[in-house]
Structure 1
Amino acid sequence: MKKYLYIGGFGFIGAIMRFTIKNINFQNYIGQIPINTLIINVTGSFFLAFIFGVTKERYKIKEEVKLGITTGLLGTYTTFSSLCKEEVNLITKGEYYSASMYIFLSLLLSIIAIYVATAISKSIGKKNEEIAEEYKAL
């Protein structure tokens, strides 16, 4: 039962975060690509990979908290359904180039974000191991 409370509580925060970013008006951006959703999904991919990376071996957190952050917060924050809806809207408007670029950028930037987050989380783990070794030597 506890895990459902964590998922729901963190999910509430993730939904508010998504709603807030979705409503930012990027005044200098005039392209057809839904930049808000792109930002949400790329940053969500980054943080999901980062959380999994840092909690894999180095930082142990309760499973309920991890579920709350990953499934609750980041699950409600990221939005595949909005990506699909916006993609269909671009296609029905005849914006084939923008539709193609939107999918391409969403995938490419999310994969890059996952790679960077994984590298950072591994780096954090290594630094902590080095500190622990130095502490033992004292």
Structure 2
Amino acid sequence: MIRVLLIALAGALGTLLRYFVGLWAGRALGASFPYGTLLVNVAGCFLMALVAQLALSTSLISPTWRVTLTTGFMGGLTTYSSFNQETMNLLRERSWGTGAANLLGTLLGCFLAGALGLLAARKLTGG
């Protein structure tokens, strides 16, 4: 039961962080591009890979904290559905370049962030 409560709390925190990053990004970077969603998805991919690798290769992160951080926090932080909806909106508005930039930026950025998270975890553990 404690594990479920930890996951729920972490999910709520991740969701709130996503909301506040979205607000900040809209004000600081502009609303013509979904910067907030891109930022949380790229950061989430980095953190997911880092935590998963550390949890699998060391005893630094227990199984409970691994699932709390990955399923809970990163699950609440990242959002494929918002990425998809924002990209579809850009394409529907015929903002082809911006839509393509969001699609490619998210796919490549998340892939590279995940690879960097994995490398960072291996560097931290000497593996």
> TM-score, normalization: structure 2?
0.91
Q: Which residue of 2 aligns with 1:126?
A: 126
Residues 8-47 of structure 1 mapped to structure 2, 5 A cutoff: 8-25=8-25, 29-30=29-30, 32-47=32-47
Task: Tell me if 1:70 matches 2:31.
Answer: no
86-95 vs 19-28, greater mean Cα deviation: 19-28
82-91 vs 20-29, greater mean Cα deviation: 20-29
Q: Which residue of 2 aligns with 1:135?
A: none
Q: Aligned AA for 2:70?
A: T
Task: Tell me if 1:79 matches 2:79.
Answer: yes
Per-residue Cα deviation, 1:36-59 (whole angstroms, up to 9, x for no partner): 110010000000000011111223
Query: How far 1:79 sits from its partner (Å)?
Result: 0.7
Query: How far 1:64 sits from its partner (Å)?
Result: 2.0
Total equivalences in the alignment: 127
Q: Distance in 2 between matches of 1:21 and 1:65?
A: 24
1:69/1:28 Cα in 2 relative to 1: closer, same or farther (>3 Å)?
closer
Task: Tell me if 1:48 matches 2:51.
Answer: no
Note the residue ranges of structure 1 that are not aligned, 5 or more in a row.
128-138
Q: Distance in 1 between matches of 2:91 and 2:27?
A: 24
Bigger Rg, structure 1 or 2? 1
% identical aligned pairs: 23
53-62 vs 10-19, greater mean Cα deviation: 53-62
Query: How far 1:4 sits from its partner (Å)?
Result: 1.1
Q: Distance in 2 between matches of 1:109 and 1:25?
A: 17
Note the residue ranges of structure 2 that are not aligned, 5 or more in a row.
none
Q: Distance in 2 between matches of 1:12 and 1:116?
A: 26
RMSD value over aligned CA atoms?
A: 1.8
Q: Which residue of 2 aligns with 1:102?
A: 102
C-alpha contact (below 8 Å) 1:47/1:117 kept by paired residues: yes
Query: How far 1:35 sits from its partner (Å)?
Result: 0.9
> TM-score, normalization: structure 1?
0.84
C-alpha contact (below 8 Å) 1:2/1:64 kept by paired residues: no
Q: Aligned AA for 2:12?
A: F
C-alpha contact (below 8 Å) 2:18/2:36 kept by paired residues: no
